Amino acid sequence: MTEDRQKHERIQEQKRVDEVVAEIKRKINLLQTKAKQLKKDVIDIRRDFWEDVTVNIEEMDDKIETEASIKQQAEFLSERERSHGQVSERLDILERLKDTPYFGRIDFRPEREEKELPIYIGLASVLDKEENDFLVYDWRAPIASMYYDFPPGPANYDTVQGNISGEITLKRQYMIRNGELKGMFDTGLTIGDHLLQSVLGNQANTKMKSIVATIQREQNQIIRNERSKVLVVQGVAGSGKTSAALQRVAYLLYRYRETLTSEQIVLFSPNPLFNSYVATVLPELGEDNMQQMTFYQYLHLQLNDSFQLETPFEQMEYYLQEKGDNYTARVEAMHYKASLSYKHVIDDYLAQLASNGLVFRNITFRGQIIIPKKAIEQYFYRTESNLSIPERLEKVANWLLHQLKKVEKYEREKDWVLEESELLEKEDYVDVHHTLQEENRFTEDTFDDYEREEALLRKRVVASKLRPLRLKIRKLAFVDPLKTFRKLFQPSFQVKENISLPSHWEEICRLTDNHLKKKFLTWEDAPAYIYFEKSLLGFNAQRTIQHLFIDEAQDYTPFQFALLKKMFPVSRMTLLGDINQAIYAHALENETLLSEKLEEKHERIVLTKSYRSTEPIVSFTKAFMPNGDLIEPFEREGNLPILMEVEQNEMAEEKMISQIRLFRDQGHETIAIVGKTMEECQQLHERLRHRIPVSLMTQEAHTFSKGIVIIPAYLAKGIEFDAVILSNASDKNFHHALDRNLFYTACTRAMHELALFSIGRPSRFIDEVPKARFKHYKIHEIMAKK
Ligand SMILES: Nc1ncnc2c1ncn2[C@@H]1O[C@H](COP(=O)(O)OP(=O)(O)OP(=O)(O)O)[C@@H](O)[C@H]1O
């Protein structure tokens, strides 16, 4: 394009931006007036609510009419409130569009048509004044998919009516800020490296940003996938898995807006910090956030506070510190209890329980056993054995409630009832009296009032005393799942011969039983216990959840996944993760959810390009990972990572502080000092906090702000920082197979700068990196030279 032509095009494009912005402003004005009116309506209706309903409760007919009138008025109010909510949401989006009405354009000529049409793509759709044509298409509209999927040339897209093909004659990207065109580029195959360069070159934020303007083709496959019941995404660190997941939520909410709401989508995130890190992406896209929680929070909810539950991070600390009693047995338990072999043990036991062994509780009332557990057990084992255990327990519950009726009658005659009735509130007496009067009004037979009153009082007292018991029976509290579960770990328990057990099984059993006795659930025991308990009492499966997203899926065990499938039986699942970032003990011996061997029928998408870190950082980290050559850096310049080898802590500290100052002088705003364990982080925090402003991130931390944080690698999962300092990359710290993944996870949190400190000999993993890919300083030598 000649320079003149370019200038002309640019003027034309700015003109169009101005026109679209003018139309958006017009729409904003209209909506603001509408919003004002709706707000006024709501206030008026609330104020005049009782004036506008006819209240008359004298006669039955009037009562019905009154109810209908209140209902109508309430509906009217909520309809206005809803409309006001919708208008406000739309206004929010238009306000955003006013600054950046669109970011992309394709000119598309459908087959057998003469002329191409320009399609402008933005955060949401905008129609022209006549509401006929689209000035801007929502990035999620079917036609917009071509923008992400095709370079100029032949292209096609799916619609409800079928596939439409044709040709893209132009593909253009814009940078528009405050309604002003700052730049535009015609792009080829991928969506503009220019724009991506500039987005990725920015400083890291404490909140994740949306990526709609620069979604890459393979990411688009994830976002728009509608075929698969289970979609597995294996993506290298920084390849945009989390970003794709969140844009996918936005896409699904748009695509199925008639039937899907944000409450029907759940995202399991790796830590509480991550929850807040990603919380602004969907609102930025004009959508409500899905339900978001950690898997720990979810399991904790399932347990109803009846257990103390170890967090995965506590388990991790125990594992990493490589000390503590029974270390070998417990680590073996972490592996074994993650596996489906362990689930077989439990399933076998559950099958046995169908014919004997379930532990029941006596039903007691006022300190007396009224239905002994033996009787409950006998009844249970007489129910039809072809029914499931929860169905059989329902039958027992019905029988028990029936028995309770007999008890109730019998108890009414006892002396305690009268004594208790004296403790009744005055209102209860008055109420009983009124009830009787109402009944008597018709009979006029009042001579036995006193007796009738006493009988009614007795009935009420016993009923109210038995109410909690009834509730408990309905909740099947007459079975003791914990005691039943514990039997599995007694020396007398015989596991089927064909099932293989770990070598320290006896010790594992002793440990497990000790924990269970104290109502303590280790992280490895939690899924098994919950699975067991729900198999007895019934899975109150979440059938309303349509989509389940699991981020960092490599950290989930096969057992946990089996539990999730039971809990979310109808949900479609999107599992995202990176096999290289598997850091939990179980990953050494078990398949993870991302494994090629995943039994579940699934579709797999692999992301190999890393966007987060500069090219030198990616080249450094890929060098020590198996199959690292598959990791592709996005071309973004930067400094080589630095390795500082020092002899003692004091030296490291001094250097670390000057390194941080340097990073700050370079303009980096989020700087993380990443440690291996919490213990290491705490010690470092103690030493540094008097010298520089630094905050320690613990597992309870829910947010982080700009500045310097100290954080263990496992808590930094999923998050990124401008600069990362690894506090001790020594071989002593990083040498095991899993340490490699932890080391990789830590280094890949860095966007622009990476500095590694090593107290003593550096990790053997660094030996695998070609020397030219980092700068190595041995501090004692420098000091000596000085
Ligand atoms: N298409 C894209 N356009 C702009 N930025 C992108 C794109 N894809 C990824 N990024 C950026 O790359 C960084 C990494 O993305 P994200 O956190 O989604 O990756 P991830 O695969 O989940 O990483 P990890 O597994 O290491 O936690 C983020 O800053 C994100 O904004």
Asked whether 682 and 699 are in contact (CB, 8 A), the reply is no
Q: What is the pLDDT of residues 173-194, one digit of tens each?
A: 999 999 999 988 887 655 556 7
555 CA from centroid of ligand 1 (Å): 19
* Residue 784 predicted with pLDDT over 50: no
Is any atom of ligand 1 closer than 6 Å to the C-beta of 577?
no
Q: Does the beta carbon of 216 sit less than 6 angstroms from any atom of ligand 1?
A: yes
Question: Would you list the DSSP string of 334-379?
Answer: HHHTTSHHHHHHHHHHHHHHTTS---B--EEETTEEEE-HHHHHHH
Q: Is the pLDDT of residue 265 over 90?
A: yes
How far does residue 561's CA lie from ligand 1's centre (Å)? 25
719 Cα: distance to centroid of ligand 1 (angstroms): 10
In sign, the C-alpha dihedral spanning 748, 750, 755, 757 is negative
Choice from 211, 218, 583 to test ligand 1 binding pocket (greatest atom count within 8 A of CB): 211
Q: Which atom of ligand 1 is nearest to the CA of 717?
A: 27
What are the residue boundaries of the structural domains of the chain, listed by start? Answer: 1-99, 363-479, 615-779
Residue 325 and residue 335: Cα distance in Å, rounded? Answer: 17
Please state the atom number of ligand 1 nearest to the C-alpha of residue 245. 18
Tell me how far the alpha carbon of residue 244 lies from the centroid of ligand 1, in angstroms: 8
Q: Whose CA is nearest to atom 28 of ligand 1?
A: 612
Class of domain 615-779: alpha beta
Q: How far is the CA of 242 from the centre of ligand 1 (A)?
A: 7
Q: What is the average per-residue pLDDT within 754-769? A: 96
pLDDT score of 5 = 82
Whether residue 307 has pLDDT greater than 70: yes
Strand-pair category, 721-726 with 670-675: parallel
CB 611 within 8 A of CB 724: no
pLDDT at 47: 77
Atom of ligand 1 nearest to the CA of 577: 25
Angle of the 373-382 helix axis to the 389-412 helix axis, nearest 10? 130
In the predicted structure, residue 760 carries a pLDDT above the cut 80:
yes
**Percentage of residues of the chain with pLDDT beyond 70:** 91
Pocket residue to mutate for ligand 1, from 611, 715, 722, most atoms within 8 A of Cβ: 611
Give yes or no for a contact between 720 and 748, defined as CB atoms under 8 angstroms apart: no
The whole-number pLDDT of residue 632 equals 92
Enter the tokens of residue 717.
């999962």
**Residues forming beta bridges with residue 646, ordered by sequence position:** 759
Q: Is 235 in the pocket of ligand 1 (CB under 6 A)?
A: yes
Helices (H), 487-614: 505-517, 526-537, 558-567
Q: pLDDT for 667-685, tens place per residue?
A: 999 999 999 999 999 999 9
Give distance in angstroms: CA of 122 to centre of ligand 1.
20
Q: How far is the centre of ligand 1, averaged over its atoms, from the C-alpha of 129 (Å)? A: 38
Spatial distance between the Cα atoms of 656 and 409, rounded to a whole number of angstroms: 78
Q: Is the CB of 720 under 6 A from ligand 1?
A: yes
Q: Is 234 in the pocket of ligand 1 (CB under 6 A)?
A: no
Q: What does the alpha-carbon distance between residue 575 and residue 241 come to, in Å, rounded to a whole number?
A: 10
Query: Could you tell me if 147 and 121 are in contact, meaning their C-beta atoms sit under 8 angstroms apart?
Result: yes
Whose CA is closest to atom 10 on ligand 1? 240
Indicate whether residue 633 lines ligand 1 (CB < 6 A): no
Spacing, Cα 208 to ligand 1 middle (Å): 9
Judged against a pLDDT cut of 60, whether residue 441 lies above it is answered with no
- Which band of pLDDT confidence, cut at 50, 70 and 90, is reported for residue 584? confident
Spacing, Cα 338 to ligand 1 middle (Å): 29
Distance CA 765, CA 745 (A): 13
Is the CB of 242 inside a 6 Å radius of any atom of ligand 1? Answer: yes
Predicted confidence (pLDDT) at residue 442 exceeds the cutoff of 60: no
Nearest residue (CA) to ligand 1, atom 1 = 215
Measured CA to CA, the distance from residue 239 to residue 243 in angstroms comes to 9
Q: Is the pLDDT of residue 124 over 60?
A: yes
Q: What is the pLDDT of residue 786?
A: 44
Q: What is the mean pLDDT of residues 206-228?
A: 90
- The answer, yes or no, to whether any atom of ligand 1 lies below 6 A from the CB of 748, is yes
Cα 633 to Cα 609: distance, rounded to the nearest angstrom: 6
Cα distance between residue 258 and residue 248, in whole Å: 17
With bands split at pLDDT 50, 70 and 90, how would you rate the model's confidence at 85? confident
Is the Cβ atom of 578 under 6 angstroms away from ligand 1?
A: yes
* Cβ of 610 below 6 Å from ligand 1: no
Query: Given the CA of residue 235, which atom of ligand 1 is nearest to it?
Result: 21
What would the mean pLDDT of 281-286 be, rounded to a whole number?
90
The answer, yes or no, to whether any atom of ligand 1 lies below 6 A from the CB of 641, is no
* DSSP notation for 682-697: HHHHHHHTTTS-EEE-
Q: What H or E segment, with its residue span, contains residue 595?
A: none
Q: List, in sequence order, every beta strand (DSSP E) within 416-557.
A: 520-521, 547-550
Please give the number of the atom of ligand 1 that sits closest to the Cα of 209. Answer: 31
Is the pLDDT reported for residue 471 higher than 50? yes
What pLDDT is stored for residue 532 in this prediction?
97
Q: What is the mean pLDDT of residues 308-326?
A: 88
Binding-site residues for ATP, in ranges, read 235-242
Pocket test for ligand 1, best of 220, 236, 242 (most atoms within 8 A of CB): 242
Distance 172 CA to ligand 1 centre (A): 23
**What is the per-residue DSSP string for 143-158?**
GGHHHHH--SEEEEEE
**Ligand 1: centre distance to CA 704 (Å):** 19
Q: What is the mean pLDDT of the chain?
A: 88
Cα–ligand 1 centroid distance for 148 (angstroms): 16
**What's the pLDDT score for residue 675?**
96
> Is there an atom of ligand 1 within 6 Å of 614 CB?
no
What separation in Å is there between the alpha carbon of 718 and the centre of ligand 1?
Answer: 9
Check if 745 has its Cβ closer than 6 Å to any atom of ligand 1.
no
What pTM did the predictor assign? 0.88
Measured CA to CA, the distance from residue 255 to residue 257 in angstroms comes to 6
Q: Whose CA is nearest to atom 30 of ligand 1?
A: 240
Q: 688 near 694, Cβ under 8 Å? A: yes
Task: Determine which residue's CA is closest to atom 27 belonging to ligand 1.
Answer: 718
**Is 199 near ligand 1, meaning CB less than 6 Å away?**
yes
783 close to 645: Cβ distance less than 8 angstroms: no
Ligand 1, atom 29, residue with closest C-alpha: 612
